[in-house]
A and B are shown apart, each in its own frame.
Chain A
């Protein structure tokens, strides 16, 4: 599996820092921010492959942040973190375009699987786009003659 970059967004600092350490130990490129606003800033500077986003945050909440993220870079996959089995929020997140969601506190391995799945989907999407773009670049012989 290639190394890919992850952006963690959670306003609980202790949680965020520990999770960053654990994921880095698992050879992931991880950065963390404590608010949706910071996340959007990072997204513009160094876009990550996958974003892990807490739903309940001060200021901009998870769903709002998710909408903004999808506006700026639709190819970035987002995994939501919620406090409990709140399907309303989960479904809303999925509708807006989240990849999946997890309940806090979560199992680190589960998170890893989800991250990998999300990254896989991202690469497939990117390849598809690349392929489509290349097809466009090759001029059509019919068009050339005409």
Chain B
């Protein structure tokens, strides 16, 4: 029942402490982690976005440069001049020298016929009229195409410009070197898994991919999901990994430069942080749990101990109350019995007086009468001892403090008992330490204590002997010893002599209350009483009283 109560208390304290400790700790670490992850992620996104934008700018510039030099050539030279193979070759040389990155250069008239060509392929004389880009150039004047295979059967893309020369128009067309272009695009790729490529509006790959996916094949990325300018988004790819994509529109929104990056690869550092944080939090929690359990156990066990002590104290108080009540009752009974006893004693005495007269002496039963009267007296004496013991026991339990000189009390008590001792031929010797301090104690109760001890000593001796009373100061105590040279108390009784109603005196001579009262009084004063006894040599009772300095009045 009680155990259950403490277990409950312990559980409650542990639970509350842990809740109070864990809730802020865990929520704080989670919040910090997410904030950190957010910042980290933003940074990664910013980086990839920045790369996409920067590389996009580079590509735009590349294309613009190529277009610009083509335009410049077309503006500078006439159709007739360029139609000359040597001249076209010269121009091609200049262009490659200036900006580079061209594969070939061709001159096409308005009917789509390839008039002049410089380059590795045999394309002279072919007609481009039906090619899609031809129409675009015709209408727009300047055009950079998507990647297509064309007559040469390899994926490539071209830049073409139309020139209006007096009454005829013609087209100067150059093929961009795919290797140069793709290396430019690839410069944007990072890490072990990152990729950089270009798709057109329909999602067709315009460059080679780093891993899988062929040029001119359809990408599974839908370019529509990328917004204007530069956009970053996250998608889960076929293998279930999170991939970050940054897209930047190029070439008047016809091409999309895409930089892909495995999010988890970039996040590795974050995961490390996460792992570290989890380790710290978990070990912190463990530490808190252990400490909480330990301190709670300690606290509750202290509490339990204090409770137990309290209970013991209460039990003692109840016991003391009982004793006090018992004492009061005993006192009442003793007084009521003592008066009739006195009457009986007197009547018996009177009868004995009368027996001394002549007429009774002649009686046959004179001896019987005398013996019976003696017996009555003996038993009155026995009853008297009981009532006196009970009255002593009834004396108030709480000490009443006054200035007390121990030696003075001892002198008084010894004087009081001297005649009683002398009738039994017992001497009382005193050895009292002079200038013992005056202490705050109860004069009457101390008298009772010494009276009991010295009377006991006298009774213990019986006849012919010595009682030795001494007082001394030992550290912060005053010690009073009462020694007799009687028979001594057997070992088996020594522990029990302070119990109430325990007596070794034969035939009801003692009440068994004297030492019990003495013990109670001394204990209530905060002192101790001990005995030493050796069979045949005598007994020494020693009372030790703490020196309590009286308050200054």
> What is A's interface to B at a CB cutoff of 8 Å?
12, 14-15, 18-19, 21-22, 25, 56, 83-88, 90-91, 103-106, 108
Contact = CB atoms under 8 A, between A and B. Distances in A.
Contacts of A12: 339, 342-343
B343 A85 contact: no
A15 B391 CA distance: 21
Contacts, number: 69
Contacts of A19: 346
14 contacts: A14-B346, A15-B342, A15-B343, A18-B347, A56-B335, A83-B335, A83-B338, A84-B338, A85-B388, A85-B391, A90-B416, A105-B338, A106-B345, A108-B349
A105 B350 contact: no
B444 A87 contact: yes
Interface in B320-354: 334-335, 338-339, 341-347, 349-350, 353
Interface residues of B, number: 28
B391 A84 contact: yes
Contacts of B380: 105
A25 B334 CA distance: 31
Contacts of B391: 83-86
A80 to B, nearest CB: 13
A50 to B, nearest CB: 18
Interface in B404-463: 412-413, 416, 444, 447-448, 451
Interface string B467-486: 00000000000000000000
4 shortest interchain CB distances as A-B pairs: A105-B345, A18-B346, A84-B391, A105-B342
B387 interface: yes
B512 interface: no
Q: Is the interface of B mostly helix, strand, loop or mixed?
A: helix
A88 B472 CA distance: 25
B114 interface: no
Given A15-B343, A85-B451, A87-B451, A22 B338 contact: no
A15 B346 contact: yes
Nearest to A15: B343
Contact of A22 (B350, B381, B388, B392): B350
Contacts of A15: 339, 342-343, 346
Contact of B388 (A18, A84, A90, A108): A84
Contacts of B186: none
A84 B343 contact: no
A20 to B, nearest CB: 10
Given A15-B342, A84-B338, 7 more contacts: A12-B343, A15-B339, A19-B346, A105-B345, A105-B346, A105-B381, A105-B384
Contacts of A21: 350, 353
